[in-house]
Structure 1
């Protein structure tokens, strides 16, 4: 329901494997927080001299049934009737366009065996020759491809060190094509929200085009509302941590292998306690979430849940697939995930069985409201490699087609394929055929329109997702203040620092270490690189 098809292939764990997530507590720059020792890298430019971001001109060809606000998604109960065209003619020039992107699903059949892919090539007027790389291998493949200097025309950019220098050396500066009003030549690219574009800015120039997900990547706690209501309980009424704890005790039936929680809800409790979203900025100074005193309260709360036996006993060993299946199967009744998981859970439950879910509200720890943590606006960034300067406008026109917004005619072709063989219409809603399910080409990790809430199988799913997202957007929602700033130290050491902190946190919850040891962990984080990361981010943010 980021669109129903698109969301089925994306998961938070997949993003982490690829290294394209900005959730780590030491990160400052989000998904492309690569760094450089060069003085003209991302961020350290006076505001008056910064490159103008592309103008934002939202698509108005489809009116939503449910209007979003403050970054929450619009909702559509049905695909719009008589979808308008967002592109005039075929954008290609007859020559092939090579590309490489990460995939989080089995590779689609090649174009020679994939009618939907062939149909899309016809609509584009250029053949897309795509390298589909499994996500765990993508960063290594990206680095190898760069080193071999044999780049496809278009690439999803991997998270590697010294990224601003790499972008300048290997990719085309797109500033003159996209900055300010220039982007209006490509109206579907102008439909990308302004807050996502800084992810593609390096060396004070636009080198990348973002694929935006925004709030769809934000984490929530889902609950099996059908099973909970059958017990005479209502998870939607919790108003504090004490309420959550009481609910979890009532839901747990370990003798019958049912536990309230799949894993300790660490991020949720941090939001209940109004902790920083990675960093807190006050008077030009940054404080990391690791350092605030509320972190020990999170530990105490998680220890309480763990000792009470309301968390699945294998919680610290479960992978994301096991966690999801336990939740779908009713062995755990509360499970974390991002908004994209909402429709995926509905699709994956066994047909003919009772299934419903909702997401918990976000109260303050002791009452009132918590603070919702917004995910970074951009999901990934793609660039055009050097050597393709004479085809930049053609490639951008093709990119513009593939970024066609929900509700347009081109969106159906890009996402669903050809009407008839690949999908049929139920009213105005596309329904995939067996061939359409088998033969697709989803380029959404590299290029996609902004997401909407859309689940035509059940309008209540769309309505509930939209309502919860809209409510969270108005629940003291905060963004990481250091988003899209850079730190060389974070690039080199951030991942390992976070891994150590996570390990220490989990050891304390399970009783292998004491809460008093957390202060030692924080001190080690600071001396091991955390303080240097802070200094570098503050320097980047101080440019006026």
Structure 2
């Protein structure tokens, strides 16, 4: 079992990091110890950064940072605040490696938005855009070459990279721990759960989280379609099956392709702990070894037999296209992707989320994610140089409702957008080429996400209602933020064992009974070693 973050881009990178892993192993030697410097065992632990909410326009529906619930805005604020009174820089050149999911944007000389951001920051950002699918490989090459930019977006998909962080990159503890972070008010606005999700490295704070809401990948649904068969809540497992079957047929399917994510979600709805069972003595046991998880496997196997899942394995972008065209009526997707989905379909139909079903005597669980999608680390430098980098991150983390956020998100007024008579954003043609996705500074640093969807206030209400209704079911993954050598060494192999076995079972190629054999192989190939190392690291970090 790996420290799973479910269907996030980072999770997909981890699953596909074979090339990067090989590169990292060549760097260290096959028998070299792993994650020994990143571990927190026996280290003095840094205090988490203070949490100080930023000043921002009042939301229509307030969030709850402790529970990971987003604030919701029905309209765009007209009373924008200034989040960073002074330019962070004074003409310095700053190199940045950042991840992107889009084609590379026009170069600086032909990019109005990029130039405007440089002007606002007071620096010359030299951006190296890394396709998300290549991030793990690029990080491995970076370790080998020692050629490190000033600011690096990273993930946890590369073996030994955390060791590299601990030995070769900047310890930010003195700058960010406790009250020190108050020098950077927008970084202090990042919720504590995101810092804890990234975790300590070698006892210190090295990574600045790129925050995401706590709920894990969801069952995102075509509400209009589900309303015709009974809706997305107040259902039992049998009623769930009935509604899914009612939406399937005539080249339409109730769900996208089946995956282990579906088994995980239904196991949670049936009361299974999030990824690991943490016993009273501090021991870790895989939730896949519970009877509830095996029940979920059998249930999904039956749904596959009923034909409710799209029969071909397609990538997420293709599944989205099928859902936008209403060939599919639901799919697994991240909560932040709701915004992209809402914008893509406009008024053609409404999106919402499937609620947990009810089983007598069972309290359903929704599995928390780590609270971040990537995190940012810095090249070692003088104190003044590090403070410049943190001022840049502080600017990029300016909250929704600030002038700085508007620049990073929407660009320059009069070029990338105008305002209507009510002060609402109207995007221009230029914004189709220059926007926050093609200039993805959101993956360098960003504020807590809010629920705001231009021209679609009901979409904000729905996602806020969903988070509020279901937050009581959220449960944490006890392994999040922990550093262990065994997870680094065995995690990819053991994770693949369970993924492959689950895929074979739900597709009818193996019996549910064969799951016991998969668990034995998981243990044999290092699963028990991961569990033992997590126990030791958990005790060091949490004190028991």
Length-normalised TM-score, structure 1: 0.89
Shift of 1:489: 2.0
Deviations 1:471-498 (A, max 9, x none): 1212x21010121112212212212221
Quote the residue 2:184 is aligned against: 186
Quote the residue 2:428 is aligned against: 433
Shift of 1:372: 1.0
Kept after mapping to 2: 8 A contact 1:225/1:234: no
Kept after mapping to 1: 8 A contact 2:8/2:373: no
**Superposition map of 1:358-437 within 5 A:** 358-366=352-360, 369-387=363-381, 389-426=383-420, 427-437=422-432
> Do the aligned partners of residues 333 and 61 (structure 1) sit closer, same or farther apart at CA in structure 2, a change above 3 Å counting?
closer
> How far, CA to CA, are the matches of 1:335 and 1:120 in structure 2?
36
Which structure 1 residue ranges, 5 or more long, are not aligned? 1-10, 22-34
> Do the aligned partners of residues 41 and 488 (structure 1) sit closer, same or farther apart at CA in structure 2, a change above 3 Å counting?
same
Quote the residue 2:318 is aligned against: 322
Quote the residue 1:448 is aligned against: 446
Residue 206 of structure 1 aligns to a residue in which SS? Answer: coil
Quote the residue 1:29 is aligned against: none
> Do the aligned partners of residues 36 and 214 (structure 1) sit closer, same or farther apart at CA in structure 2, a change above 3 Å counting?
farther
> How far, CA to CA, are the matches of 1:507 and 1:53 in structure 2?
43
Kept after mapping to 1: 8 A contact 2:62/2:71: yes
Quote the residue 1:57 is aligned against: 52
Kept after mapping to 1: 8 A contact 2:57/2:79: no
Quote the residue 1:104 is aligned against: 101
> Do the aligned partners of residues 276 and 200 (structure 1) sit closer, same or farther apart at CA in structure 2, a change above 3 Å counting?
closer
Quote the residue 1:25 is aligned against: none
**In the alignment, is residue 492 of structure 1 matched against residue 493 of structure 2?**
no
Residue 363 of structure 1 aligns to a residue in which SS? Answer: coil
> Do the aligned partners of residues 406 and 507 (structure 1) sit closer, same or farther apart at CA in structure 2, a change above 3 Å counting?
same
Kept after mapping to 1: 8 A contact 2:416/2:428: yes
**In the alignment, is residue 247 of structure 1 matched against residue 243 of structure 2?**
yes
Per mean C-alpha deviation after superposition, the further-off stretch among 154-163 and 203-212 is 154-163
Kept after mapping to 1: 8 A contact 2:343/2:453: no
Kept after mapping to 1: 8 A contact 2:10/2:155: no
> How far, CA to CA, are the matches of 1:158 and 1:541 in structure 2?
21
> How far, CA to CA, are the matches of 1:307 and 1:73 in structure 2?
37
Quote the residue 1:203 is aligned against: 202
Deviations 1:409-445 (A, max 9, x none): 1111122221111111232332321112212322111
> How far, CA to CA, are the matches of 1:20 and 1:305 in structure 2?
25
**Superposition map of 1:25-36 within 5 A:** none
Shift of 1:344: 1.9
> How far, CA to CA, are the matches of 1:312 and 1:207 in structure 2?
42
Kept after mapping to 1: 8 A contact 2:135/2:154: no
Residue 466 of structure 2 aligns to a residue in which SS? Answer: helix
Quote the residue 1:79 is aligned against: 76
> Do the aligned partners of residues 91 and 453 (structure 1) sit closer, same or farther apart at CA in structure 2, a change above 3 Å counting?
same
> How far, CA to CA, are the matches of 2:434 and 2:511 in structure 1?
53
**In the alignment, is residue 15 of structure 1 matched against residue 14 of structure 2?**
no
> How far, CA to CA, are the matches of 1:408 and 1:20 in structure 2?
37
Shift of 1:387: 4.0
> How far, CA to CA, are the matches of 1:367 and 1:356 in structure 2?
33
> How far, CA to CA, are the matches of 1:98 and 1:60 in structure 2?
30
> How far, CA to CA, are the matches of 2:488 and 2:424 in structure 1?
44
Residue 431 of structure 1 aligns to a residue in which SS? Answer: strand
Kept after mapping to 2: 8 A contact 1:73/1:470: no
Residue 133 of structure 1 aligns to a residue in which SS? Answer: strand
> How far, CA to CA, are the matches of 2:36 and 2:222 in structure 1?
51
Shift of 1:400: 0.8
Deviations 1:98-149 (A, max 9, x none): 1101111111211111001001111111111110011111111122123212
Which structure 2 residue ranges, 5 or more long, are not aligned? 1-5, 17-31
The counterpart of 2:220, out of the listed 219, 222, 246, is 222
> How far, CA to CA, are the matches of 1:151 and 1:259 in structure 2?
47
> Do the aligned partners of residues 536 and 463 (structure 1) sit closer, same or farther apart at CA in structure 2, a change above 3 Å counting?
same
> How far, CA to CA, are the matches of 1:164 and 1:324 in structure 2?
34
> How far, CA to CA, are the matches of 1:295 and 1:389 in structure 2?
50
Shift of 1:36: 6.3
**Superposition map of 1:43-54 within 5 A:** 43-45=40-42, 49-54=44-49
Shift of 1:310: 2.2
> Do the aligned partners of residues 165 and 221 (structure 1) sit closer, same or farther apart at CA in structure 2, a change above 3 Å counting?
closer
> Do the aligned partners of residues 368 and 493 (structure 1) sit closer, same or farther apart at CA in structure 2, a change above 3 Å counting?
closer
Kept after mapping to 2: 8 A contact 1:213/1:377: yes
Per mean C-alpha deviation after superposition, the further-off stretch among 379-388 and 285-294 is 379-388
The counterpart of 2:463, out of the listed 447, 454, 465, is 465
**In the alignment, is residue 290 of structure 1 matched against residue 288 of structure 2?**
yes
Kept after mapping to 1: 8 A contact 2:140/2:161: no
> How far, CA to CA, are the matches of 2:423 and 2:202 in structure 1?
46
Shift of 1:57: 0.4
> How far, CA to CA, are the matches of 1:390 and 1:228 in structure 2?
56
Shift of 1:457: 1.7
